Amino acid sequence: MLPYFAKGQVIKGFGRGSRDLGCPTANLSRDAVEALPEDFKTGVYFGYASVDSGKVYKMVMSLGWNPFYNNETKTMEIHILHEFESDFYDKELRVAVLGYMRQEKKFGSVNELIDAIKDDILQAKNELNASEFVIYRNHSFFIK
């Protein structure tokens, strides 16, 4: 099933990534979530992303219902491993999902969740240095 390529408009999420977790995320539109194959597992993934056909960056993606927050809507939340100067709502986001890291989990506290996110980011950075994944940085999917 991987690699999986998705694109969609960046929409407003719950605002928890930046505010509560110190990890800003870009939420893909509902149609991008609904286009996922039915058997696409929820959890945390790594790969690459680009905004409006710009530079391609490493990313971590959470797919699912965010059990810590008891969401009722399935979301695709992408944390791009780059610091942007401003938000990019309504822009096109393209993601190449390359690897699966872990299942969704209901953490006991916000601090446990933050620690897991930090671990996810570190793991993604390391995994994406492998030559089998680096080649996707220049994939034709990222060229509009």
DSSP letter for 38, please: T
d(CA 53, CA 49): 9
The structure tokens 């930046």 sit at: 18
Number of structural domains, the chain?
A: 1
- The domain that contains 53 carries what CATH number? 2.40.30.30
Per-residue pLDDT of the chain (144 residues; tens, 9 = 90+): 899 999 999 998 665 555 566 788 899 999 999 999 999 999 999 999 999 989 999 999 999 987 666 667 899 999 999 998 888 899 999 999 999 999 999 888 888 988 999 999 999 999 999 999 999 999 999 987
Known active-site residue 77 = yes
Domain range enclosing 14: 4-142
What's the alpha-carbon Rg for the chain, to the nearest Å?
14
Of 38, 77, 92, 112, which residue is the catalytic one?
Answer: 77
pTM for this entry: 0.92
